Amino acid sequence: MVTATMTSKKENKPSVGTPLKDEKKPSTFAKRTTVFILDDHPIVRQGIGELINGESDMMVCGEADNYEDAMGAVDKLKPEVILVDISLNGSSGVEFLKALKIHHPEIKPLILSMHDETLYAERVLREGARGYIMKQEATEKIMDAIRHVLKGQIYLSDYMMERILEKKYGGISTDASPVEALSDRELEVFRMIGEGTSTSLIAKQLHRSIKTIETYRARIKVKLNLKNNMELIRMAMNWVQNEKPADKPAVKPA
C-alpha cells in the first residue's frame, strides 16, 4: 500500500489594499522538508505523520508499507528524508536500504524501529542509514533525530554511539550476542522463524526457494552451535520475545 500526499493548487488573489510585494513572498509550505514513511503498521504511519506535519518546516509527502511500493513512490516523490522500519511486509528495511543506496544515494534514510539498536544499528549504518532510533523513544527525540539527519549528521543513542566508539577505537571488548554473527539475510530468516513463520511462507515472502531457506537455516544452526531444528526454533522464539518491547511503539496520533 502506498499513499502520496498531494496538495491542491489554489489561486490566491490579493484583497484590496494588499501590498503587491506580499505576492512575491514564498509560501511556508514551499519551504517544508519532504519526509516519506515506510512502515507496515498504519497506526504508526498515522502517528508519525501527524507529528511531522505538525512542524512548520516539514511535511509527509507519502507513505508505504512494503519495499516494492516504497521504491516506486520514492522514484516519483524524491523525498529528502525517509523513515524506514526494519520489519516490512514481505521484505526488510535492510534490503530496502541497499536498494536505496544504489538508486537514490541523495536521500537520507533514518531507521525508526522497535528492534534492538545494539543488533541492528551498525548493520544499517553500513548500508547507508544516517541514524537509528527506537520507536519507544519520546516524540521529541524522534524529531531531533530527523533534524540531525537533515543537517548531515549521524543520529544514534548515547549508549550506542559509545558502544561503537569503544568497539572501534577503545580496544574494549563489548558483550556481543551470538546472533550478531549472522548475515543480514540469515538474521531476517532467524527472526521470521522466531515469529512462527513456516519455511514455505518465509520462502514466499522473501521471494526465495524453499531449498534456499533451508540452506539459511542450516547455516544459522552452525553459526549458533545448535544441534537440531527444535533448538533453532526455541532459540529464535526466545530471541524474538526478548528483543521486542511489550507493546508496539509508543508513537500515537496526536
pLDDT for the residue numbered 1:
67
Given 167, 193, 222, which residue is the final one in a domain? 167
CATH code at 128? 3.40.50.2300
**Does residue 107 belong to any structural domain of this protein?**
yes
- Predicted pLDDT of residue 163: 79
Percent of the chain with pLDDT over 70: 80
Ranking 36-40, 88-92, 95-99, 142-146 by mean pLDDT, the lowest is: 88-92
pLDDT tens digits, 165-210: 777 676 555 556 788 889 888 998 998 999 899 999 999 888 889 9
> With bands split at pLDDT 50, 70 and 90, how would you rate the model's confidence at 252?
very low
224 assigned to some structural domain: yes
Residue 20 pLDDT > 50: no
pLDDT above 90 covers what percent of the chain?
51
88 and 182 housed in the same domain: no
- Tally of domains in the chain: 2
Tens-digit pLDDT profile for residues 226-235: 999 999 999 9
Q: Highest mean pLDDT: which of 28-37, 104-113, 137-146?
A: 104-113
- Rounded to whole angstroms, the Cα distance separating 142 from 132 reads 10
Asked if residue 252 is part of any domain, the answer here is no
Report the distance separating Cα 146 and Cα 131, nearest Å: 9
What's residue 152's pLDDT?
A: 93
73/14: higher pLDDT: 73
Reported as a pLDDT band with limits 50, 70 and 90, residue 10 is very low
Domain end call among 142, 167, 192: 167
37/158 same-domain check: yes
- Domain termination residue (choose one: 145, 167, 189): 167
In this prediction, residue 56 carries a pLDDT of: 93
Structural domain contains residue 21: no
Shared domain check, 162 and 184: no
- The full 3-state SS of the chain, as one line of letters, equals CEEECCCCCCCCCCCCCCCHHHHHCCCCHHHCEEEEEECCCHHHHHHHHHHHHCCCCEEEEEEECCHHHHHHHHHHHCCCEEEECCEECCEEHHHHHHHHHHHCCCCEEEEEECCCHHHHHHHHHHCCCCEEEECCCCHHHHHHHHHHHHCCCCECCHHHHHHHHHHHHHCCCCCCCHHHHCCHHHHHHHHHHHCCCCHHHHHHHCCCCHHHHHHHHHHHHHHCCCCCHHHHHHHHHHHHHHHCCCCCCCCCCC
**145-153 mean pLDDT:** 94
49 and 153 assigned to the same domain: yes
What distance lies between CA 86 and its chain's CA centroid?
A: 5
For 119, the domain range is 2-6+29-167
Chain segment 38-94, per-residue pLDDT in tens: 999 999 999 999 999 999 999 999 999 998 999 999 999 999 999 999 888 777 899
Same domain, 78 and 161: yes
| 125 and 182 share one domain | no
